[in-house]
A = this chain, B = another copy of it.
Amino acid sequence: MKKLINKPEDVVKESLAGVAAAHADLVKVHFDPNFIVRADAPVQGKVGIVSGGGSGHEPMHGGFVGKGMLDAACPGDVFTSPTPDQMEAATKAVNGGAGVLHIVKNYTGDVMNFEMAAELCQAEGIEVESVVIDDDVAVQDSLYTAGRRGVGTTVLAEKICGAAAERGDDLKTVADICRKVNANGRSMGMALTSCTVPMAGKPTFDIGPDEMEIGIGIHGEPGRERMKIKTAKEIVEMMGEAIVSDLPFKSGDQVIAMVNGMGGTPLIELYLVYNELNQFLKGKGITIARRLVGNYITSLEMAGCSITLLKADDQLLELWDAPVHTPALRWGV
């Protein structure tokens, strides 16, 4: 394992210390329990937004804490759900009296830990709503299973809900907007290489020098299919078809598109993928109204990318365009 770290067990703590030192103007980092809050939290009268999940997906979520996006993020160990005490403390820290929204990615651990935290907070009189994001079309959805994983749409939901909260929407409205984003967002990912969890010390999965994994999760969970590597064009068509046909997105739709790097893929390739996606969607009569190209929800140093499309109406676009000022996303400020 080759990493720029000291001891594997200290990675999360020391990285958080780096975030604290680098972004003292934007965020405060609390240790034991670990969470990151806006420097000006709690904002009185504003709905608070808390998210969180395992570490190793940076900049998500800590990089999205700040004005116009998250009020707090709870980082767990690498690829491990945070615990209810973190979420409870974070929720209390950001509660400005208007209630708190928990944005949760659909993994059994995340869902149950957030659920316990919500119960603890509600027991103390804080109004909490939870929205679970489950946008990964690579996973078969079913009432009888854990359902789809929460991936790229989470980033878009955090931005959009953050804007809604910032302009003063109430808890129910912000939660409804979050559900709307989840209902209209779809993602799929692929990997060229594995990642290595620091504590594990070896790659999560083996993959041949000419293979790729399509439909992979953000923790290196196996995907839909292992196959021989293809061209960027073919990969985009494969993932694009799966995404577009699922909602389905239709000719005439406007979308917010994200071409997201898994951590180890350089920007020159992500822009090349964006070019293919743009062509592909044009061919379907779908217009990219806004976009993100870069590393936003990663799997440590995994090489690969994911594509997220969110069908967007004027309401969502207006919220998307609203000012945001976080370590990883900034505009209008």
Interface residues of A, dominant DSSP: mixed
A192 to B190, CA, bound (A): 24
Instruction: Determine the chain B residues whose CB is within 8 A of the CB of A56 once the complex forms.
Output: 266, 268
Cβ-closest chain B residue relative to A271: B18
How far, in Å, is A231 (CB) from chain B's closest CB? Answer: 5
Q: Considering only CB atoms, which chain B residue lies closest to A62 in the complex? A: B271
- Please tell me the size bucket of the interface on A: 35 or more
User: Would A5 and B300 be within 8 Å (CB), given that A278-B21, A331-B330 are in contact?
Assistant: no
Taking a contact as CB atoms under 8 Å apart, the answer to whether B301 and A4 are in contact is no
Question: With A22-B291, A298-B267 in contact, is A275–B4 under 8 Å at CB?
Answer: no
* Residue A193 CB within 8 A of the other chain: yes
Count copies of this chain in the complex: 2
Find out whether the CB atom of B269 lies under 8 angstroms from the CB atom of A2.
no
Q: A18 contacts B192, CB within 8 Å?
A: no
**A199 at interface, CB cutoff 8 A:** no
In the complex, what distance in Å separates the CA atom of A2 from the CA atom of B11? 28
Assess A58 versus B18: contact at CB under 8 Å? Given A6-B232, A231-B5.
no
Q: Are B265 and A18 in contact (CB under 8 A)?
A: no
Q: Does A40 contact B (CB under 8 A)?
A: no
Q: Which A1-39 residues have C-beta < 8 A from chain B?
A: 2-7, 11-12, 14-19, 21-22
Residues in A lying within 8 Å of B, measured CB to CB: 2-7, 11-12, 14-19, 21-22, 55-56, 58-59, 63, 78, 192-193, 209-210, 212, 229, 231-233, 235, 263-276, 278, 288, 291, 293, 295, 298, 300-301, 303-305, 330-331, 333
Known: A2-B209, A11-B269. 18 other contacts (CB 8 A): A2-B193, A3-B192, A4-B232, A6-B233, A6-B272, A15-B268, A15-B275, A21-B274, A21-B278, A22-B274, A58-B266, A58-B271, A63-B267, A263-B264, A267-B295, A295-B295, A301-B303, A330-B330
